[in-house]
Amino acid sequence: MSTKLPVLYSFRRCPYAMRARMTLLYASINLELREVLLKAKPEKMLALSSKGTVPVLALPNAEVLDESYDIIRWALEQSDPQNWLSADLDPAIRDLIARNDGQFKADLDHYKYWQRFPAESQQQYRARGELFLAELEVLLNRQPYLLADRITLADIALFPFIRQFAFVDKAWFDQSPYPKLRAWLEQLLISELFLSAMKKSPPWQDGDFPIGL
């Protein structure tokens, strides 16, 4: 079905898609949401991005953004009412996101899917990821959010991955030595922005009536 709105291909539980949806909602971007079944990816999405991963944002001018960070930056260029991307914090934001998306994401995958990586135990993989958690705890001891006394893009970009790490073993996380990080996570988990971004949508099929985010 043709549309002049941006089209977002997404998967509800994917942390990359999660942070993209949260930013698009924050920026009040009007778009068509297409929920993807990862075991049956739409041909239209694959034609736009051969990577086959979500999120993918198809813009009305035929530009395609298939990296979550690019989607986020585009959304904030359209609207950033609470100054998530202030110039003075931009280098620090970029650094935190790069380390989250690099080493920490690798540690998270080894911890969550440890049976695929039998070289070390799940606890050893968790200990690797904890190095990053400890850094975030230090930051949160200085102010309520990672880089300021208000939410910035760093909080939104890292949140889905910390959430995923926490829920691998929630009982362990709930007694872990990161009280500030636990409180930070809980605040974001109950936020209207996150709850709105996590509303369920049926898997999209060609010809479906468009639904918004």
Q: Cα dist. 87→13, 28, 84, 94, 114 in Å?
A: 31, 21, 9, 11, 39
Q: Is 44 left (phi over 0), alpha (psi -120 to 50) or beta?
A: alpha
pLDDT tens track for 156-166? 999 999 999 99
Q: pTM, whole model, 2 decimals?
A: 0.95
**Residue 166, both tokens:** 């926490």
Per the CB < 8 A criterion, the answer to whether 122 and 111 are in contact is: yes
What per-residue confidence (pLDDT) applies to 198?
97
Specify burial of residue 8 (Cβ count, 10 A radius: 0-12, 13-18, 19+).
buried
| Rounded CA separation 38/1 (Å) | 21
pLDDT tens track for 33-64? 999 998 889 999 999 998 999 999 999 999 99
The bridge status of strand 32-35 relative to strand 56-58 is unpaired
pLDDT band at 2 (very low <50, low <70, confident <90, very high): very low
What per-residue confidence (pLDDT) applies to 3?
53
The structural domains of the chain, ordered by start, are 7-82 (3.40.30.10), 90-194 (1.20.1050.10)
Q: Cα dist. 59→6, 8, 29, 212 in Å?
A: 5, 9, 11, 15
pLDDT tens track for 195-206? 999 999 999 988
Q: What is the mean pLDDT of the chain?
A: 95
What is the mean predicted confidence (pLDDT) over 106-127? 97
